[in-house]
Amino acid sequence: METSGIILIDKDPGLTTVQEEVVVKRRLGVDRAGHAGTLDPFASGLLLIGINRGTKVLTFFEDKTKSYEADLLLGEKTGTGDIDGTVIEKKEPSLHTEEEINKVLASFVGDTFQIPPMYSAIKKDGVPLYKMAREGLSIERAPRKVHIASLKLLSYDPAANLIRFSTDVSKGTYIRTLGEDIAKGLNEIGHLTALRRTRVGGYSIDKAVKPLEALESDIIPIKELFKGITFISASPDQIKRIGNGADVALDSSYPDMVMFLNPQGEAMAIYQKADKGWYKVFKEFL
């Protein structure tokens, strides 16, 4: 089998997630690549890219908590909520105390509701909202529940009207929208001028590499992504059954979830206990 797994990439601002994905794919000379969690073009930071069979692992990262650092400029509102958008409103900002800012930040911690931005990939009648936005359309969007685990002030520069904050958020949270909501909480308008993702689940930006510096040795094998799971070296009969997606018999000493490895020690599939000594396929990586 070809080298498969996940590679941690430090995305540069200015390129789309797909463009960075293509760079990595060409750099490593692989046939398949995909990503978990899109970053806006102006954003930078941690991007998880699945390589070859590693693309089948990406769904396991969808619900992981993500961490960001962001710069919020007060006094200007853009159509996209970030620096790439056109300024549509200006308002001279007031001076604020750190105590006041911290109070507003604290009000968002926990479960909260966000109205997704028009410039997002959410679809309405099969059409992404950002396509409608580019045509000058704006439709009503229902608020969505998200969870903000932490939201902290990193710095406040009153001369530059700039607030820097860090946050840990659930799946589906738009940091651009969060920035606009923070500004609104201060009776201001604002937009993000910088955004950097620093963590996805247990993986940190500290371990990431630049796209043009990526090496095959940087790929984290599939089996190393599943800490604590029981590995089973598949027998010839089990290899055949796994290849056909069939159930596999195991004795009762095994836990509810196991991972079968091929003779080369590579992940083949995760199996889940069904009943009467049989396990059924939970996720295959063939």
**Domain coordinates in residue numbering, the chain:** 5-64+202-223, 66-200, 226-284
Q: Supply the pLDDT for residue 227.
A: 86
**Residues in the chain with pLDDT values less than 70:** 1, 118-141
> 5-64+202-223 sits in which CATH class?
alpha beta
> 66-200 sits in which CATH class?
alpha beta
Active site residues: 40
Q: Supply the pLDDT for residue 142.
A: 75
User: Which of the four CATH numbers 2.30.130.10, 2.40.50.100, 3.10.20.30, 3.40.50.10150 does domain 226-284 have?
Assistant: 2.30.130.10
Domains 66-200 and 226-284 share a fold: no
Q: Are 152 and 160 in contact (CB under 8 A)?
A: no
Q: Supply the pLDDT for residue 131.
A: 62
Give the per-residue SS3 of the chain. Answer: CCCCEEEEEEECCCCCHHHHHHHHHHHHCCCCEEEECCCCCCCEEEEEEEEHHHHHHHHHHCCCCEEEEEEEEECEEECCCECCCCEEEECCCCCCCHHHHHHHHHCCCEEEEECCCCCCCCEECCEEHHHHHHCCCCCCCCCEEEEEEEEEEEEEECCCCEEEEEEEECCCCCHHHHHHHHHHHCCCCEEEEEEEEEEECCEEHHHCECHHHCCHHHCEEHHHHCCCCEEEECCHHHHHHHHCCCCEECCCCCCCEEEEECCCCCEEEEEEECCCCEEEEEEECC
- CA 253 to CA 229: how far, in whole Å? 14
**Residue owning tokens 């604590």:** 228
- CA 179 to CA 165: how far, in whole Å? 9
Reported pTM: 0.90
